[in-house]
Structure 1
Amino acid sequence: MTDVKRPHKVVIVGAGPVGSLAALYAASRGDDVEMYELRGDLRDPSTVPLNFTKSINLALSERGINSMGQTNRPGLVEKVVEQAIPMHGRMIHGRERGKLWEAAQAYDVHGRAINACDRGALNNALLDELDRTPNVKIFFNHKLTGADFRNNKAWFERRSPDDPANTRAPEVEVSFDFLIGADGAHSATRYHMMKYSRVDYQQEYIDTLWCEFRIPPTEDGNFRISPNHLHIWPGREFMFIALPSSDRSFTCTLFAPSSHYSKLESSPEKLVEFFDYYFPGVCPDLITPDDLREQFATNPHLPLISIKCRPHHFGSNVVIIGDAAHAVLPFYGQGLNAGLEDVRVLFEFLDKYGVYDLQSRDAEARKTLRAAAFQAYTDQRAPDAHAINDLSKKNYLEMRWGVKSPLYKFRKNLEETLDRYFPRLGWRTQYSRVSFSNERYSEVVKAVERQGRTLTLSLGTILASLFAVCGYLTWKYPRELSPLPWLLRPLRKLTRVSFTLLTKAAYSTDYIHP
């Protein structure tokens, strides 16, 4: 007996931006969607995001915008982008000979920008869209406590935010055709899925903590520094960054090894001195000493986690997306974008395998097709997630140190020149491929390695040709060019150093996060 009319019942765990976008995709295909969120309504200002004192800014780029655009919801992308602030490049800050300096570095030779976006504003826009969707139900204050992924059942504790006694919450049982876990790095969905699927799992906390700060607007309500840049104060072992906010303040982050946090926590009187030495111009010019000390003492000092796992699904019954599948370090600005892209890729495979072709599919056939689609999703997405995870980790070094190196600037300028004047070569910087395209992350890595090998071979050939010409002229005209051997010695040394630097440049990943 065919099941030609019944839609899927889809349960989504997590009502953040990734889970909310997944709900829109499923609802647009006619599914009956139920979304369960551990916290209260995220649009309520009193609801505090987990582990944070307040929402932090995000860098929304092409992948995320494209994924939202494919919901075909009129005005959704425009609403989000209107509230965002375009950042056309990074601004590097420093001090030399007692004078402050800043240097702008454009992100893209074609003038494209990434968008500083408030997490809350993005989430609110998606939730508001879901409220207008009749086949979506949202349940806040529901915690996933158990799941049977063979029999398609899940259990949620229904918590009351007004219960001061924190008594045992009643539990509800929910059935589903398939469940999507979008519940973050500490995913309950992933935890329960690992009881059923042989999941290879890797979790790493890097030796870096972060703390949030805020640069307020000026007294007349303007930005204190350029709003169209991501500002970086590199400090070798640590860095301070600032992203613009719509209220004309800047949301800032101090990234530093845990040992430095321990020293500053035990000697808070040295905090201002520390900032003055490593991040010149921040205090007192942008943040007063009192505000700096208060924010450091009040805002939590949080770890940074990196997670890789495979597979991202079990059978036809459950699939994980976003940080639940791949928590990404923030140093490429791709965590949110990768999560939103997960949704697009997942539903493209569901469409490709005919899961939503209801005219000729019974329930068992659809389960078989769904399992194949989930497997294809894992096969494509796992290597891409691992690739951006590795790139993000490597780029921390570039952000806190490499942005000032001549090697970084040389390769960046060379590749941007090729991109601008010889577009048919298809030569683009790694940053451009990641932030301004929808090219697979794993393919980005391969393309950049290929460009690096070509660059090394080309420049090596030029240097070898130069030596050959000099050698020939020396042999052909020994008397006329008698001083040449004296000139060749430093030239040889310079060439060896240049070739070493070019080789390193060819195989380095020095195109940084926003």
Structure 2
Amino acid sequence: MAEAGNKTKCLIIGAGPVGALAALYAAKRGWDVEVYELRGDLRDASTTPLNFTKSINLALSERGINAMRHSGSDGLLEAVLSETIPMYGRMIHGEDSKGDLTEESQLYDVHGRFQRAVDRGELNKTMLDYLEDLPNVELRFHHKLTGADFRKRKAWFEIQPSDSRDHQRRLQEIEVDFDIMLGCDGAHSAVRYHMMKFVRMNYEQSYIDTLWCEFTIPPASSEEESTVSTTSSAKDGFRTSPNHLHIWPSSDKMFIGIPSTDKTFTCTFFAPSSTFASLEQHPEDLEQFFQQQFPGAADLIGPAELQKQFEQNPHLPLISIKCSPHHYSSSGVILGDAAHAMVPFYGQGMNAGLEDVRVLFEHLDAHPATAAGRATALETYTTERVPDAHTVNDLAYANYWEMHAGVRSRLYLFRKTVEEFLSDKVPASGFETQYSRVSFSNQRYSEVAEVVERQRKILIRGMVGSLIVPVVGCIAWWASRWQTSGRRGSSVPFAGGVFRSLGDRIASVFGR
């Protein structure tokens, strides 16, 4: 088609943030773009999200921002950023030995860089508004992908009734030709399913033993003022600090809150499935459970609302997906959750998906706009992106420990302090925390993992060396004194006392 002198015809399946950004990139290159979405118009408040939650706030970081920066859409990034709230760090909530509530701010970055809280719905709406104004883009909602032939480059869609009461009507099916199909249709991707019939795709799907449920903390001006509290960091109509990601850590569970521009907080409760099962069986224990595990959180929501939201909002699983390759020949490629769904603990799911778009089009731009050129581009894209996708998937899972336990670990905080000190005071050392590399740079995820591992080894050798040198010195001093005392016939303290003293001093650094 495109080889015959026509424009490249691109089908994008999924109109979420990743699909919308991919459509903008494709349209700016002069392609004929058709976006197909199973749901209704995502700008309509009545459209039910695929995960059935009312709203999800996300952390927008440098990778997502950079992808929008290179979209070629004037004003898009500024419009998106104007509806975000800066989060400079984590606010760790707990209580002291006296039972008083505590808040501890932990900055994300020694250089003052920050994450941005963004409403997924508003982000999606802004992108779709920009798409709708482009003459070479068509948005088609209520279309379900039912089949795809990536050799013949044909796709089939079932047109869903826009009115749910019209389910008795016979559904119409249409056939659409294409040059390239971009699958941006989420973890349960139809594009990936049909692509697997044409490519030998290694595929790994797993669920972790953790469920999640969404809650909302109301604004400080809520009518429930008498039953809902605030914290000492509350300001500007928010019940707690609007410039932090809030964490109530616990042994194997966690409660987090992300600010919204309407002065609410979108919160998520993570816990093992057994905990959810117990609370579902005994909902009357919910408030006491929250007071014990997440001190102060229930007071911010309100006891009645806590109970109501737990019962009404779904309790959902967390899925992790890895696959390879991410493409087939010149005609199909998957991006975002369709290629690498991950648990949400690094806040990189959407950012990685948006980055997929930028990286994909860098490869497409580097090769001729022919079938052969696209085949090469998709091959090199998969070669680069698969290891990065697998790495960030693993990092996201590992970060659950950091969020619910590491934030209270003295060893973790000590390493973070050392790395930040070196980054700030000795920049030539090249040291940065893993979090800063992931969230505030565009360095490849796989490279981040390699560099951070080298840093870890250097720090371990440095710490071991700092211990060995004084120990060897103490032994040499003790041996010298022993020889001297032997000649004089006097005694010296046993060397074990030196070692015990040294151990006590090291232990005191970590409060143990």
Interval of TM-score (by shorter of Structure 1 and Structure 2): over 0.9
Aligned residue number for residue 306 of structure 1: 320
Q: Is the 8 A contact 2:55 2:266 kept in 1?
A: no
Q: Is the 8 A contact 1:143 1:157 kept in 2?
A: yes
What's the CA shift for 1:486? Answer: 4.9
What's the CA shift for 1:495? Answer: 8.8
Where 1:477 maps in the other structure, the secondary structure is helix
Where 2:237 maps in the other structure, the secondary structure is coil
What's the CA shift for 1:462? Answer: 1.9
Q: Deviations over 1:188-239 (max 9, x none)?
A: 0000000111010000011111000000011277100000000000011100
The aligned runs of 1:358-377 (5 Å cut-off) are 366-377=370-381
Code of the residue aligned with 1:297 in structure 2: it is E
Code of the residue aligned with 2:36 in structure 1: it is Y
Code of the residue aligned with 1:327 in structure 2: it is A
Aligned residue number for residue 359 of structure 1: none
In the aligned structure 2, how far is the partner of 1:139 from the partner of 1:2? Answer: 22
In the aligned structure 2, how far is the partner of 1:69 from the partner of 1:2? Answer: 28
Code of the residue aligned with 1:412 in structure 2: it is K
The aligned runs of 1:449-488 (5 Å cut-off) are 449-478=453-482, 479=485, 482-483=492-493, 485-488=495-498
Aligned residue number for residue 57 of structure 1: 57
Aligned length: 489
Aligned residue number for residue 117 of structure 1: 118
Q: Deviations over 1:28-85 (max 9, x none)?
A: 1110000000011100111111122312000000000000000122211111111000
In the aligned structure 2, how far is the partner of 1:47 from the partner of 1:287? Answer: 26
In the aligned structure 2, how far is the partner of 1:345 from the partner of 1:303? Answer: 30
Where 2:298 maps in the other structure, the secondary structure is coil
Q: Is the 8 A contact 1:312 1:382 kept in 2?
A: yes
TM-score, reference length from structure 2:
0.92
Where 2:356 maps in the other structure, the secondary structure is helix
Q: Is 1:229 aligned to residue 244 of structure 2? A: yes
Match of 1:280 among 290, 295, 306: 295
Aligned residue number for residue 95 of structure 2: 95
CA gap 1:129/1:196 in 2 versus in 1, 3 angstroms: same
Q: Is 1:264 aligned to residue 279 of structure 2? A: yes
Where 1:325 maps in the other structure, the secondary structure is helix
Q: Is the 8 A contact 2:57 2:119 kept in 1?
A: yes
Aligned residue number for residue 405 of structure 1: 409
In the aligned structure 1, how far is the partner of 2:479 from the partner of 2:304? Answer: 72
CA gap 1:489/1:244 in 2 versus in 1, 3 angstroms: same
Deviates more, 1:455-464 or 1:55-64: 455-464
Q: Is 1:420 aligned to residue 424 of structure 2? A: yes
Could you list the runs of 5+ residues in structure 1 that have no partner in the other structure?
356-365, 502-514
Match of 1:185 among 184, 187, 206: 187
Q: Is 1:445 aligned to residue 446 of structure 2? A: no
What's the CA shift for 1:461? Answer: 1.6
In the aligned structure 2, how far is the partner of 1:462 from the partner of 1:176? Answer: 63
Code of the residue aligned with 2:444 in structure 1: it is R
Could you list the runs of 5+ residues in structure 2 that have no partner in the other structure?
223-235
Aligned residue number for residue 159 of structure 2: 158
Q: Deviations over 1:298-340 (max 9, x none)?
A: 0000010000000000111100000000001100000000000
Q: Is the 8 A contact 2:25 2:72 kept in 1?
A: no
What's the CA shift for 1:385? Answer: 0.4
In the aligned structure 2, how far is the partner of 1:353 from the partner of 1:491? Answer: 66
Deviates more, 1:212-221 or 1:341-350: 212-221
Q: Is the 8 A contact 1:463 1:495 kept in 2?
A: no
In the aligned structure 1, how far is the partner of 2:190 from the partner of 2:455? Answer: 41
What's the CA shift for 1:482? Answer: 2.4
Match of 1:342 among 356, 378, 395: 356
Q: Is the 8 A contact 2:475 2:495 kept in 1?
A: no
CA gap 1:418/1:148 in 2 versus in 1, 3 angstroms: same
Match of 2:309 among 290, 295, 298: 295
Code of the residue aligned with 1:72 in structure 2: it is G
What's the CA shift for 1:391? Answer: 0.7
Aligned residue number for residue 264 of structure 2: 249
CA gap 1:2/1:283 in 2 versus in 1, 3 angstroms: closer
Code of the residue aligned with 2:126 in structure 1: it is A
Aligned residue number for residue 240 of structure 1: 255
Code of the residue aligned with 2:492 in structure 1: it is S
Q: Is the 8 A contact 1:183 1:323 kept in 2?
A: yes
Identity of aligned residues (%): 56
CA gap 1:317/1:451 in 2 versus in 1, 3 angstroms: same
Q: Deviations over 1:355-388 (max 9, x none)?
A: 3xxxxxxxxxx11111111011111111100000
Aligned residue number for residue 195 of structure 1: 197
Deviates more, 1:137-146 or 1:469-478: 469-478
Code of the residue aligned with 1:344 in structure 2: it is R
What's the CA shift for 1:165? Answer: 3.7
Aligned residue number for residue 30 of structure 2: 30
In the aligned structure 2, how far is the partner of 1:283 from the partner of 1:165? Answer: 42
Aligned residue number for residue 210 of structure 1: 212
In the aligned structure 2, how far is the partner of 1:270 from the partner of 1:351? Answer: 58
Q: Is the 8 A contact 1:34 1:139 kept in 2?
A: yes
In the aligned structure 2, how far is the partner of 1:333 from the partner of 1:261? Answer: 23
Aligned residue number for residue 490 of structure 1: 500
In the aligned structure 1, how far is the partner of 2:16 from the partner of 2:442? Answer: 22
Code of the residue aligned with 2:22 in structure 1: it is A
Code of the residue aligned with 1:93 in structure 2: it is H
Match of 2:344 among 330, 351, 357: 330
Q: Is the 8 A contact 1:63 1:436 kept in 2?
A: yes
In the aligned structure 2, how far is the partner of 1:4 from the partner of 1:176? Answer: 13
Q: Is the 8 A contact 2:2 2:9 kept in 1?
A: no
Aligned residue number for residue 505 of structure 1: none
Where 2:176 maps in the other structure, the secondary structure is strand
Match of 1:168 among 152, 170, 174: 170
Q: Deviations over 1:435-484 (max 9, x none)?
A: 00000001000000000111111221221111121122222234499236
RMSD of aligned Cα (Å): 1.9
In the aligned structure 1, how far is the partner of 2:456 from the partner of 2:164? Answer: 60
In the aligned structure 1, how far is the partner of 2:107 from the partner of 2:61? Answer: 15
Q: Is the 8 A contact 2:327 2:378 kept in 1?
A: yes
